[in-house]
Structure 1
Amino acid sequence: MKYGICNLSTIPLRMISDHTSEMISQLLFGDHYKVIQENKEWVKVRLEIDQCEGWIENKQHTEISKDYFDDLNNSDFVVSNNLVDFIEDENHQLTSVVLGSRLPFYNNESFNILDKSFRFEGNVTSNKRSKQSIVNSAFLYANTPFLWGGKTPFGIDSSGFTQMIYRLNGYFLKRKAAEQASQGEVLSFIEESEPGDLAFFDDSEGEITHVGIILANHHIIHCSGKVRIDLLDHSGIYNKELRKHTHKLRVIKKIF
């Protein structure tokens, strides 16, 4: 088996091996993966952080050894905590990194990918943090436009939003809303929830398709058109601008 790491700001992860295929997720700088299939121009990968599978262009694949892959799994998970910042390599070339990018083997403003050294002087996080920190991080993405498969402050979807907020605070969620709904502890009523817990919503066929982060005073922050704040009640999400419920509540989960 082959292994790889993302050494670019972002790499689109596509459903099939074609540039016109839908983007189902994104790799961020520092994400590592297993290669599970190859063809002439594309590589199918499985991200280690959430087991999401998809295709990336072969030109954007950077191979690593199994030993290096295992070392990444056993090392601290340190991520950037600035909306956008830059890393600098040994030749003083800059690469932009977005909020939540991983900095492998980070120590005292330095980190390495393979035999290449980098410097990052921005803010980082690495430890499990409080639910209040979850809420604070969520506001960093306010007004970010909806992008199917997106995971950055320039475009994000509902489950990408919750995944990234929890990632910034030391917790790991799966990629899709339905998968995230299988994690954590079920809460019977909204009144049992705390700011930072997750609320999931289903469609007319009963499939969970949306997720958001519960806020205080019966509000929720979620990505629908953009990352926005709406009211939350026992029926679901109520949009005051539209004067109607837009999402039907299915379940509330406490992750920690």
Structure 2
Amino acid sequence: MRYGICQLSIVPMRAEPSDPSELVNQVLYGEHFKVVEQRKKWSRIKLSHDKYEGWIDNKQYIEISEEEYAFAKAQPATLTTDPVQFITTEHNQLLTVVLGAAIENINLLKDTFDGLSRTGKSDKSQLIETAMLYLKSPYLWGGRTPFGIDCSGFTQMVYRLNGYSLKRDASQQATQGEALSFIEESEPGDLAFFDNTEGAITHVGIIMEDNYIIHAHGEVRIDRLDHSGIYNVHKRTHTHKLRVIKKII
């Protein structure tokens, strides 16, 4: 088994080993992983923090030893907390990193960082404050950053930045936590899931106070939430059908 760590700001993870292939996820600076399969130009990897798999370009990561991987995995996650910050590389060059970059293993990359970061679990009340850092971020299928993010990438990153683990996709996240019977039982920070006409869960958002929800739909935005689903006041229509509310924390 081989192992790697991401030394670049944002690396695309694709469904197949090809540049035109669908973007399914992104690997952020400092995230480490197992190399499940390696080809001449591409590697299929499994991220350590959520076990998500996909293909990345061999030129866009650094190989580490099994011992270094075990060391990296044992460290508590320490993540950057500003939308944009800078890493100083071992060659004294500046590297831009985004909100949620992992710096707990920065020594493995021989880089330095003296910006703002967070380690450990935060109070549930901090979830909405973190979510607001992504407000107006454009929707991007497979995205996990303020420069492009999808619905489940958004919820995963908000929880991750506060020390809690969510799976990557909305349908996977819906298997976590405790189901609530009514919106009235929910608290800010709980997750609302929405399904399509076939009954498959395809969307997720974070519940706010006073029957509002923040979610990634075109952009990270705030809409009304009722027993039917998400109501867009500008379009005067429901855009998503509510399936279940989950309390994760």
Which bracket does the TM-score occupy, shorter chain normalised?
over 0.9
Of stretches 43-52 and 211-220 in structure 1, the one that deviates more from structure 2 is 43-52
Aligned residue identity for 1:80 = T
Structure 2: 5+ residue stretches without partners: none
SS at match of 1:186: strand
Aligned residue identity for 2:46 = R
Q: C-alpha displacement at 1:254, in angstroms?
A: 0.6
SS at match of 2:27: strand
Report how many aligned residue pairs link the two structures. Answer: 249
1:100 is matched with: 100
Correspondence 1:129 to 2:116: no
Tell me if the contact between 1:25 and 1:150 (Cα under 8 Å) persists in the aligned partners.
Answer: yes
TM-score (normalised: structure 2): 0.98
1:205 is matched with: 198
Correspondent of 1:191 among 184, 193, 206: 184
Q: What CA distance in whole angstroms lies between the structure 2 residues aligned with 1:40 and 1:122?
A: 37
Q: Percent identity?
A: 55
Q: Deviations over 1:114-172 (max 9, x none)?
A: 5x2x2222111112111221000000000000000000000000000000000110001
Structure 1: 5+ residue stretches without partners: 106-110
Q: What CA distance in whole angstroms lies between the structure 1 residues aligned with 2:143 and 2:107?
A: 26
SS at match of 2:120: coil
Q: What CA distance in whole angstroms lies between the structure 1 residues aligned with 2:114 and 2:58?
A: 31
Correspondence 1:144 to 2:137: yes
Aligned residue identity for 2:44 = K
Tell me if the contact between 2:138 and 2:147 (Cα under 8 Å) persists in the aligned partners.
Answer: yes
Correspondence 1:51 to 2:51: yes
Q: What CA distance in whole angstroms lies between the structure 2 residues aligned with 1:89 and 1:63?
A: 17
Correspondent of 1:239 among 208, 226, 232: 232
- 5 Å-filtered alignment, 1:55-66, equals 55-66=55-66
TM-score (normalised: structure 1): 0.95
Aligned residue identity for 1:112 = N
Correspondence 1:216 to 2:209: yes
Tell me if the contact between 1:43 and 1:61 (Cα under 8 Å) persists in the aligned partners.
Answer: no
